[in-house]
Structure 1
Amino acid sequence: MGRNAKTGKTAYVAGTFDTKARELLYLKDCLEHQGIPVTTVDLSTSGGTAASAADIGALSVATYHPMAAAAVFTGERGSAVAAMAEAFTYFIRARDDVGGIIAAGGSGATALATPAMRALPVGTPKVMVSTIASGDVRPHVGSSDIAMIYPVTDIAGLNRISRRVLANAAGALAGMMRAEPIAGEAEKPAIGLTMFGVTTACVQQVTKLLEADYDCVVFHATGSGGQSFETLAASGFFSGVIDVTTTEIADEIAGGVLSAGPSRLDAFARHDIPYVGSTGALDMANFWGMDTVPAGLRQRLLHVHNANVTLMRTSVMENERIGRFIAEKLNRMKGEVRFLLPMKGVSALDQTGKPFFDEAADRALFTTIEENFAASPGHRLVKLPHHINDPDFAKALVEAFREIAEKESLPA
């Protein structure tokens, strides 16, 4: 156990030392071979009193649980893993020497380690070697920057494959801990933007108009993207946001696979953050390949975006629900709000001659938002005779943001 003399930071190697000590100590050796100080942490839930090969034993970690170590060592695997994951999260937050973290194992080890990884700041190196990394890892990665590595073989001993994969993982963490961003221009205030493929033209135009004054940070509105966008906004990372693409709400309402959850937009109700938003890509809900579309939705208007993504046009009824969802959230926002409606279409597929052009569905969306929106001097709804990807609409978004920036004394 040690710290880098220059940075005071160490790499944490975490896992269940009662079953994976050999593999975890191999990770430790690989990191130390590259000159990285290491602290090992045991997350075993089998008892907490046995001797451990780790620098910090499971009992020490378990004491960080709000209900003490007894809440962890229950003898029931499910509750024990959940409690140890919570204890480890409190433990890692209390450390001031985390330069990076790596863990390895199966579904249990992944559930133990990734909540603590998610609790660390964006930019802190995080590597999870997991046997479930080739499947749906969204519940584990969430809105954080965890690097997931599939080990090919099980984490069950060292062999010619596991040695190479684990060494690569250790090398990845070591490289991340050494890496420094290349110096850019003088620091500018950051703003967050949301984008989808079908609103790319709009966001690119907005970015071009603002990049001289702002560091424009763009998020892909794929569920986790919206969550990351709001997490950083809530942490004070942004001076304001231009939430062009609220499409994740359509997935939440219509049952698509790219929802950011029912809490989308809530960060702006909890925090005073200048907000400019729009209805980007609310004409669609997302599914994977055509065979993944639920049987009850196969008769809907579907568009094959590519072999792995199928889009479903939102209906009049769904757009009414989406409109009420948005208006209710806008009404609760604490800061200045400008919400712009592109009356000629909300995506590249929603315009004359394109597959999702549906005036009735768009009208339901716009009318419902307008009828439920509580206008005030600080909260304004603006209807514009443009398509969302028209240059004039991008200019209007920028003008709205600069107006707020001026009122909030942000750089204009």
Structure 2
Amino acid sequence: MYGLSTEDLALQARARELGDELIPWEEHAEAHEGRLPPEVAARARARVDALGLRATNMPAELGGGGCTMLQQVLVQEQVGRVTNGLMWFVSTPPQWWAGVATPEQTERWLRPTVAGERSECYAITEEGAGSDVADVVATARREGDGYVLNGVKWHVTSYNHADYVFFEGVLTDGPAAGGHALFVVDLPTDGVSVVRNPAYSHTLDHHHPVVAFDDVRVPAANRIGEEGDGMTFSYAWFRFERFMVAARCVGAAGRLLDEATAFASGRVVGGQPLIERQLVGAMLADSAAELFAARSMLYEAARGVDEGRDLKIQHAQASMVKLYCSEMAGRVADRAVQVFGGRGYMRENVAERFFRELRVERIWEGTSEIQRVILAAQLAKRGAAALC
């Protein structure tokens, strides 16, 4: 099904195997602020290398998996099957960086990240700059042979696990003044501090704090690409991450459908399996149909990237799959809670956890509304035939 090769299926199976090993630990994580016992976490991380799941999106010459976009989607789909972010360590370092990193950046940050020895986070979003990063007001001022960075960033996901951060700011002077630049900032660094660490709906061991950058000094060697290139890298990151969000949503929906179907088949009400009650069966049927549509769309769009489809079309289809798959997963989660009934409202139940966790998928990496704006603009410029 879906035209997957033998190699694709083998990679998918290995990722699923890791997920199956972690699923029994979900309730423990829920009760312990998203954390696993240290020995379990260490064993799981070792399995990433054993199963060939390390940095699937990075070139083989850097130590990555050198996988196709379709294969990356297949792996992240399995990551999405597991609640509490327990498979987030199956990481995908910034793919765009491989093409622009200097030799120093490659050896200092990129190669160790691919090897799993270092980890990153992004400081882009601000209080007044969410889905549209053009509204960023954080600044980067040239001073001597380096830059001084200032700004307050919100939702800096995985900050507590990172040892360096990407900071995007507006250049205040020079030929590219008003343009954006992206910098690497090691953690800890003087001037970088957590303002507050808000609690979120989900129970993950990955925090999303508000982080202040106060007169943070970095050398010019920490700038990625040229002055004014920052938005280019952000757009590439958003495009990639929208595929990964869509993949994880498909994985979550698939897990929910399996669990809800098994429960409805075994639960007997009035002498009849719950799944034979038409209103319950209809919810499962709708979920199956939407999952099939979402997965088919996602795989086709990923193949388009592998085939070198026009970059503007890739961008539009990334928005399309992120929009549809995230909203589909939300509907499936809502139905699953309903099928489980009172059990579905208990935190020990997979449907309850996904009901909370999946809500953010319609927000981060660009809200559903932003995806619709992008798609409408592309329809106006290119017509439906180019996108569909």
Fold shared by both chains (TM-score > 0.5): no
* TM-score, normalised via structure 2 length: 0.23
* TM-score, normalised via structure 1 length: 0.22
Larger Rg: 1
